[in-house]
Amino acid sequence: MSDQSERRCVLITVTGKDSPGITAALTRIIADSGVDILDMEQVTIQELLSLSIVLDYGAGGDDGRPLLKDLLFAAKEMGLELDFHVLAHSGLAPPLRPHRWVLTLIAHDRLSSGAIAAVSRVLAESGYNIEKIQRLDQGRVRCLEMVVASDRPEGASLLKPALLPVGREFSVDIAVQPDNLFRRVKRLVVLDLDSTLIQTEVIDELGRRAGAAEAVARITAQAMEGHLDFPESLRERVALLRGLPVSVLEEVAQALPLTPGATKLIRTLKHLGYRIAIISGGFRYFSERVKERLDLDYAYANTLEIENGQLTGRVLDPIIDGERKAEILEEIARLEHLRLDQVIAVGDGANDLPMLSKAGLGIAFNAKASVREAAEHSLNQTRLDTILFLLGITQNDIAALEQEG
């Protein structure tokens, strides 16, 4: 058997205007020569092609010149530039870095070169090498996905605190996820309702209709920040709604404003076979309406007690608080025969943190400051479908699904 150190590997790089048939022509020449392809990668940006191929000449025999001449001639005929160099490493391939991570950079309007430079600097200083960069959006660049690798096992625990100042300075959301199988096989999404799937806190709206707007809103704000016991704060607010007619609930339900991008998010995920659930600390009367409106699979929320067509001012036990939200998430995952790694959870309040921590991907969406700091991932965006970028789904992917749909 030949010594691995005697093997010769050559990297060829082809650049120029892209057109159909380039890769087919070059790989056909390589195949006819009997030389193996060890590695290859192709990228096209604005109709400009960059194609890299590692050729394995093995040990002894052909010095490679005839094949390189044929490739150079073919490239010239197609109007392309071809360069090559002998790789310094020995063996069949360079060693793989064992730890890989995906960074998703999302700006509100435009991702500036300053933000990209700052992120790249942090990665370099932390010992992470950028292996791939992909744009996920269309129009002005506002979302990039970077695949980075390192010999170090630390990922989010190391990079998140290092990247936080960059995010603040450039108003960019930066998510760090392990690049593994479970990132690509998510199958269940659970969403909070109030101020997440819809753009309002229902209980605040009911408080306004009951003439107790200020008191209810004050308690809601304190509860969402985590300053009050959730079940007790809920009972206190519901007590202020005593005597409110059911007709008012119906009026509020019919006017619930969906968060921008909610419909596109749900439609895209359903195309991909996801199961979708609402797990809310709000009220079942409204979660069921939204479930029907968006054709969701599950809806869990608290039940208001109603007698003689009016609210009694009581909420029925058991109350769905933060811990119960996490338990329900686990129950749905079991029903669907899914691992928690395959679950995405989205919410904005302190009572969402337990379920965010249970999910493989927990996202604090337009959350309170204390929740953003506690959650592993945070998005401060106007559209809910921005979540699709964290799954590596591009706007081109979404457009293709909609055309099929």
Gap between the Cα atoms of 216 and 205, Å rounded: 9
User: The tokens 């001012």 sit on which residue?
Assistant: 313
Half-sphere exposure of residue 223: CA atoms within 13 angstroms, side-chain side: 24
DSSP string, 85-134: EE-S--SSSPPPPSEEEEEEEEESS---HHHHHHHHHHHHHTT-EEEEEE
7: Cβ contacts below 8 Å, ≥ 6 apart: 56, 57, 58, 59, 90, 91, 92
Q: Is 341 a catalytic residue?
A: no
User: Residue 16: beta bridge partners?
Assistant: 49
262: Cβ contacts below 8 Å, ≥ 6 apart: 197, 198, 294, 384, 385
Q: How far is CA 84 from CA 30, 39, 43, 71, 349, in A?
A: 14, 14, 17, 10, 55
CA triplet 103, 106, 109: central angle to 5 degrees?
A: 160
Catalytic residue chosen out of the listed positions 173, 179, 194, 204: 194
Among the residues of 126-184, which ranges form H helices?
156-170, 181-184
Q: Which of 23, 68, 16, 69 is nearest to 42 (CA)?
A: 23
Catalytic residue chosen out of the listed positions 192, 348, 352, 385: 192
Q: How far is CA 89 from CA 4, 37, 59, 85, 148, in A?
A: 10, 16, 14, 12, 21
Gap between the Cα atoms of 101 and 176, Å rounded: 7
Neighbouring C-beta atoms of residue 237, cutoff 10 Å: 23
Half-sphere exposure of residue 380: CA atoms within 13 angstroms, side-chain side: 15
Q: Is 192 a catalytic residue?
A: yes
Burial degree of 95 (CB within 10 A; 0-12, 13-18, 19+): exposed
Q: Are 350 and 370 in contact (CB under 8 A)?
A: yes
**Where in the sequence numbering do the catalytic residues fall?**
192, 194
